[in-house]
Amino acid sequence: MEGAVSQRLQSSRSPVQISRILRPDDANLAGNVHGGMILKMIEEAGAIISTRHCNIKNEDCCVAVLARVERTDFLSPMSIGEVAHVSAEITYTSKHSVEVQVNVMAENIIHGAKRMTNRATLWYVPLSVENVNKVVKVPPMQYSSLEQEEEGRKRYEAQKLDRIETKQRCEDMIFPVINVEPYTVGYSQSSLIHLVGPSDCTLNDFVQGGVTMKLMDEVAGIVAARHCKTNIVTASVDAINFHQKIEKGSVITVSGRMTFTSNKSMEIEVFVDVDHVFKNPKEAAHAVTAFFTYVSLDKDGKALPIPTLKVETEDEKKRFEEGRSRSIQEFDNSRKGTVLESGAGVFKLASSRQEKGGER
């Protein structure tokens, strides 16, 4: 028995790898793979390795569910016919959560060329299969040094604080607007309604985080396309926080609105509201929130100017300034690590010389 447990423990430490050839139905009309499809693959790899780890020593069988995704940058767009290689490994465990680091590589199987397209950090919480309201204790991982464990603990505390702050901002709502002029918030805002079915869910009948993120990217892409009327791609996704579980049979409404535009990029805020239609009526509440950043590209893949967002109300002006602050902060953070420069009209990471366009 000890040998079997030791073997499973060793297996849980090994990175999980998923490979998939990208097909036409994964991409937009310009052939760029949807960012939501990449996010879904990232989440699947994270769910596999975290669920495997959490069941090593637990007598109570559990399924790891997505609680948060840190900011994710799309370093290079993927195209139809390429192979996406997704690799996930566990980098930190707390008593009730698991941190997973995921890297995505794109491979041109004709020429053999490979490039990094995404890096993402995800946080999972294990829930009992028998009692989905019970959070199961996470088996501790072995660290190579005390410094590695301490750095992980700092990341854990930081994301925990951010989740609390984000949850406090979840009172905002998006209301439909009729007969509005172009380039206003109301003109491009969009919503999608989805009935959660069995194919959307994990073993415990709750929605997979990757399914939710894919729907969010679709709505954000519609908002961006309506605003620009051009080919648009995902450039990055800010931290995504999952505030509550979404059960099978629920109806979710995914809503997006433009919050900020600069000359080369635009920020879209996305909410996911859940309605438990087969249970006692409850007021719809935000289950997931996130900010998506998009860029507009011409037929040659060069960045196009973004039409300026016309803000009219005091709330819109406030959100615009908050978006500007996030943009400036992210630029400052990127300069501390990897310097961003504009090359050939598309943002590039100067250290790696990789295009910073997203997939949409």
The helix (H) or strand (E) run that includes residue 117 is strand 114-128
Count CB neighbours of 183 within 10 A: 17
Q: What is the C-alpha separation between 207 and 158, in angstroms, rounded?
A: 26
Based on the residue annotation, tell me whether 60 is a catalytic residue of this protein. Answer: no
Residue with tokens 């990029």: 265
Count CB neighbours of 139 within 10 A: 18
Q: What is the C-alpha separation between 293 and 276, in angstroms, rounded?
A: 30
CB 309 within 8 A of CB 293: no
Q: What is the C-alpha separation between 230 and 225, in angstroms, rounded?
A: 6
Catalytic residue among 73, 200, 217, 238: 217
Based on the residue annotation, tell me whether 28 is a catalytic residue of this protein. Answer: yes
State the burial class of residue 71 (Cβ atoms within 10 Å of its Cβ: 0-12, 13-18, 19+): middle
State the burial class of residue 199 (Cβ atoms within 10 Å of its Cβ: 0-12, 13-18, 19+): exposed
Catalytic positions are 28, 217
